[in-house]
Amino acid sequence: MTIRTRVAPSPTGDPHLGTAYMALFNWAFAKSQGGQFVLRIEDTDAARSSAASEGRILAALSWLGIPWDEGPDKGGRHGPYRQSERRDLYRRHVQQLIEAGHAFHCFCTPERLVALRAEQRALGAPLGYDGRCRQLSGAQAAARLRSGQASVVRMQVPSEGLCRFHDALRGEIEIPYSQIDMQVLLKADGLPTYHLAVVVDDHLMGITHILRGEEWISSVPKHKLLYDYFGWPMPAMAHLPLLRNPDHSKLSKRRNPTSIDYFRAQGYLPEALLNYLGLMGWSMPDERTLFSKEEFRQAFSLQRVSLGGAVFDVEKLNWLNGQYMRRLDAEAFMDRLQGWALNRRRLSALVPLVQTRTQRFSDLVPKVGYLLGDRPPLKAEDFAHSKLDRRQVVEILFRVCRAADTLAEWRQEDLRSLCKTEAERMQLRLKDFMAPLFVAISGRPVALPLFASMAFLGADLSRVRLREALDALGVSNKQRRQLEKLPL
Ligand code: GLU
């Protein structure tokens, strides 16, 4: 049997470190066994998915040096590799489930489902669909469909019993079916949910081993039922530990940079970042810290994955990156430096910002310092502004942080309109509202245009700077909790 693994990111935002982590382990496992590694794009959430995000994921994985054998850009025997291009396949498979009685049309309105939830909550009962439309006969469902009533398709789930499955890292796992909802498989818009698409695709793409994050363990019973309903063998499963902060909280973009693009823009070397990801829940048999991708692949075995040790500590990454920097010869160092930021692509993004503000090239260096490197550390006094008091400054920074968390694209125009909305809510002029943001982003009250600077820095780095500004102002946890309550 040829081992086939996959990574299946959803293109709904920045290329996430977690995607690179999963890609590295899936690649290493497949290649250590002479197998193949597939990249599949899970873009069934039409509203949140974008081609731009897909492009950035592919670029980020290529930058890191994780190659895939089949994928949306390369094709392959099991394509298409974008779920949005596989709609007919899902529809056919859902039909098969309905005909065999393993799935049913559900006509319950969103209002009914909201009311049902509220009722279950009030009773302290488990939340989930109550199965009302299961009672409909085939003829009744067909008549409702003919009359044009909106519907979804849900899967049948046994009301009792235990789902048992094996996880290569965790052993036997048991989850009672009573905890499993009658999952929607096909949405009203005709698109599949993740649960249907992942099972159909993993099977049709010949995936033999699924290595993914532990947050998916609770979904396995749904998937296992689907494999059984279709009469397919379930691939082997290994749920890897989630990446965590040094305090063991989940790595999340609200608190830390998580975008691969951030690490690229900050001047990390891809081989150092990849090496560091290889230390997440894994260690070399001889415990050495520095190793290449090839060495990782050769030494890789699932047995060496430890469930406790996926702590992503930027300080340790910095140390490791320094080790790699040191090992470059002078020529390579210069090439890599040029490749990082002093290249045409990156500089061309700076030209519209600086050209009309430059008399001599030497003016340029101090002007762009905060864009290419760190800005000076912040102090509370940096935010003293005649028109705003501390409370307002804190509120502005908080509002922008909060709103920016939900921004799908990090473009100048989106950032401007976000700030305009928030300034109106606070009844401030945009110019005054922007003053503390200039300081947070550039470290100075006057700098290059704010929204263009934020767009150049990217979402992660801008967010980090805004959060650091709140820290510099000494905002306590209690204050933060109060700020969370601010009306939108
Ligand atoms: N699309 C899912 C994600 O974004 C993939 C989960 C899986 O690997 O099954 O993480």
Q: What is the overall mean pLDDT for the chain?
A: 94
From the CB of 212, is ligand 1 less than 6 Å away? Answer: yes
Question: What tokens were used for 241?
Answer: 């530990």
**Burial class of residue 381 in the structure, from the number of CB atoms within 10 Å of its CB (0-12 exposed, 13-18 middle, 19+ buried):** exposed
Ligand 1 atom closest to the Cα of residue 198 is 9
- Ligand 1 centroid vs 434 CA: distance in angstroms? 38
The answer to whether 235 touches 280, Cβ cutoff 8 Å, is no
Q: In angstroms, what CA-CA distances link 303 with 146, 167, 285, 306, 308?
A: 54, 12, 11, 8, 14
Task: Report which of 434, 472, 440, 441 is spatially closest to residue 458, judged by C-alpha positions.
Answer: 441
Residue 113 φ/ψ, nearest 5 degrees: -70, -35
Which residue's alpha carbon is nearest to atom 6 within ligand 1? 8
The answer to whether 161 touches 177, Cβ cutoff 8 Å, is yes
Q: How far apart are CA 18 and CA 57, in angstroms?
A: 11
> Which amino acid is present at 146?
R
Q: How far apart are CA 399 and CA 440, in angstroms?
A: 13
pLDDT digits (tens, 9 = 90+) for 114-134: 999 999 999 998 889 999 999
From the CB of 216, is ligand 1 less than 6 Å away? Answer: yes
Question: Mutate which of 10, 203, 214 to test ligand 1's pocket (most atoms within 8 Å of Cβ)?
Answer: 10
The reply to whether 485 belongs to the active site is no
From the CB of 10, is ligand 1 less than 6 Å away? Answer: yes
From the CB of 8, is ligand 1 less than 6 Å away? Answer: yes
The answer to whether 34 touches 1, Cβ cutoff 8 Å, is no
Kindly write down the DSSP assignment for every residue of 252-314, as one continuous string. -TTTS--BHHHHHHTT--HHHHHHHHTTTT---TT--S---HHHHHHH--GGG--SS--B--H
Question: What tokens were used for 268?
Answer: 């990390």
Decide if pLDDT at 452 tops 80.
Answer: yes
- Ligand 1 centroid vs 6 CA: distance in angstroms? 10
pLDDT digits (tens, 9 = 90+) for 229-255: 999 999 999 999 999 998 888 887 767
Higher pLDDT, 193 or 479: 193
Q: How far apart are CA 23 and CA 213, in angstroms?
A: 11
Task: Report which of 64, 60, 50 is spatially closest to residue 10, judged by C-alpha positions.
Answer: 50
From the CB of 198, is ligand 1 less than 6 Å away? Answer: yes
From the CB of 11, is ligand 1 less than 6 Å away? Answer: no
Question: Mutate which of 194, 205, 237 to test ligand 1's pocket (most atoms within 8 Å of Cβ)?
Answer: 194
From the CB of 43, is ligand 1 less than 6 Å away? Answer: no
Select the highest-mean-pLDDT range: 166-170, 308-312, 360-364, 462-466: 166-170
Question: What tokens were used for 3?
Answer: 């081992």
pLDDT digits (tens, 9 = 90+) for 288-342: 999 999 999 999 999 999 998 799 999 999 999 999 999 999 999 999 999 898 7
Q: How far apart are CA 447 and CA 443, in angstroms?
A: 9
Ligand 1 atom closest to the Cα of residue 194 is 1
Length reported for the chain: 488
- Ligand 1 centroid vs 357 CA: distance in angstroms? 46
The answer to whether 43 touches 82, Cβ cutoff 8 Å, is yes
From the CB of 13, is ligand 1 less than 6 Å away? Answer: no
Which residue's alpha carbon is nearest to atom 10 within ligand 1? 9
- Name residues whose C-beta falls within 8 Å of residue 213's C-beta, 6 or more positions apart in sequence: 18, 22, 239, 240, 242
The answer to whether 422 touches 433, Cβ cutoff 8 Å, is yes
Q: How far apart are CA 224 and CA 315, in angstroms?
A: 41
Strand order in the sheet with 209-213: 171-176, 162-167, 236-240, 209-213
Which residue's alpha carbon is nearest to atom 3 within ligand 1? 9
Q: What percent of the chain has pLDDT over 90?
A: 82
- Ligand 1 centroid vs 238 CA: distance in angstroms? 13
Task: Return the H-helix or E-strand segment holding 7.
Answer: strand 4-7
Q: In angstroms, what CA-CA distances link 267 with 224, 273, 342?
A: 43, 11, 11
- Mean of the pLDDT values across residues 94-109? 97
- Ligand 1 centroid vs 198 CA: distance in angstroms? 8
- Ligand 1 centroid vs 388 CA: distance in angstroms? 45
Model's pTM, two decimal places? 0.90
The answer to whether 351 touches 371, Cβ cutoff 8 Å, is no
- Ligand 1 centroid vs 194 CA: distance in angstroms? 8
pLDDT value of residue 405: 83
Ligand 1 atom closest to the Cα of residue 18 is 10
pLDDT value of residue 365: 87
Determine which one of 222, 224, 253, 293 is catalytic: 253
**Burial class of residue 29 in the structure, from the number of CB atoms within 10 Å of its CB (0-12 exposed, 13-18 middle, 19+ buried):** buried
Distinct helix (H) and strand (E) counts, the chain: 20, 9
- Ligand 1 centroid vs 40 CA: distance in angstroms? 10
pLDDT digits (tens, 9 = 90+) for 181-208: 999 999 999 999 999 999 999 999 999 9
Ligand 1 atom closest to the Cα of residue 219 is 9
Q: Position of tokens 């009359």?
A: 147
From the CB of 36, is ligand 1 less than 6 Å away? Answer: no
- Mean of the pLDDT values across residues 155-163? 96
Alpha carbons within 13 angstroms on the beta-carbon side of residue 197 total 25
Question: Mutate which of 212, 219, 226, 251 to test ligand 1's pocket (most atoms within 8 Å of Cβ)?
Answer: 212
From the CB of 39, is ligand 1 less than 6 Å away? Answer: no
pLDDT confidence tier of residue 387, bands split at 50, 70 and 90: confident
Chain mean position to CA 318? 22
